[in-house]
Structure 1
Amino acid sequence: MAVSARRGAPLSLDEICSTALRLIDEAGVEGLSMRKLAAELDVNPMSVYHHVASKEALLARICETVSSRLPLPPDDGTPWQDQLRALALAYHRHARQHPAMWTYLHNHPEFSEDRRLPLWQALYRILRASGVPEEELRRTSEVLHAFVSGFVFAETRGHLSGEPEEVERSFDVALHMIVNGLAAR
Structure 2
Amino acid sequence: MAVSARRGSPLTLDEITTTALRLMDEGGVEGLSMRKLAAELDVNPMSLYHHVDNKEGLIKLICATGAQRMKLPPDDGSPWQQQLRAMALAYHRHAVTHPAMWRHLHDHPELIADRKLEIWQTLYRILRLAGVPESELRRTSDVLHAFVTGFIAAETQGHLADDPQEVELAFDAAIRMIIHGVAGCSD
State the TM-score, normalized to the length of structure 2: 0.93
Rounded Cα–Cα distance in structure 1 between residues aligned with 2:137 and 2:90: 21
* Match of residue 117 from structure 2: 117
Structure 2 CA distance for aligned equivalents of residues 75 and 15 of structure 1: 28
1:65-84 equivalences under 5 Å are 65-84=65-84
Q: Please name the residue that 1:5 is paired with.
A: 5
SS at match of 2:150: helix
Is contact 2:64–2:117 with CA below 8 Å preserved after alignment? no
Runs of 4+ in 1 over 6 A off after TM superposition: none
Q: Check whether the contact 2:64–2:112 (CA below 8 A) recurs between aligned residues.
A: no
> Which residue of the partner structure matches residue 179 of structure 1?
179
Q: Can you list the C-alpha shifts for 1:58-116, whole angstroms capped at 9, x where unaligned?
A: 11111133222222212222111111111111111111111111111122222212111
Aligned residues: 185
| Partner Cα separation in structure 2 for residue 51 and residue 129 of structure 1 | 38
1:25·1:101 contact (CA, 8 Å) conserved in 2? yes
Alignment of 1:167 onto 2:187: no
8 Å contact kept, 1:29–1:100: yes
**Match in the other structure for 2:104:** 104
**Cα displacement (A) at 1:162:** 2.3
- Alpha-carbon distance in 2 for matches of 1:53, 1:166: 43
What is the alpha-carbon root mean square deviation over aligned residues? 1.4
Shift of 1:123: 1.1
- 8 Å CA contact 1:17, 1:65 repeated in 2: no
Deviation at 1:2, TM superposition (A): 2.0
Q: Which runs of 5+ in 1 are unaligned?
A: none
The one-letter amino acid paired with 1:59 is I
Cα deviation for residue 124 of structure 1 reads 1.2
Q: How does 1:20-169 map to 2 (within 5 A)?
A: 20-169=20-169
Residue 153 of structure 1 aligns with an amino acid whose one-letter code is A
Query: Contact 1:38–1:44 at 8 Å: present in 2 too?
Result: yes
* 1:33-60 per-position Cα deviation (integer Å, ceiling 9, x unaligned): 1111111111221121222111011111
Distance 1:43 1:75 in 2: 40
The alpha-carbon deviation at position 166 of structure 1 amounts to 1.3
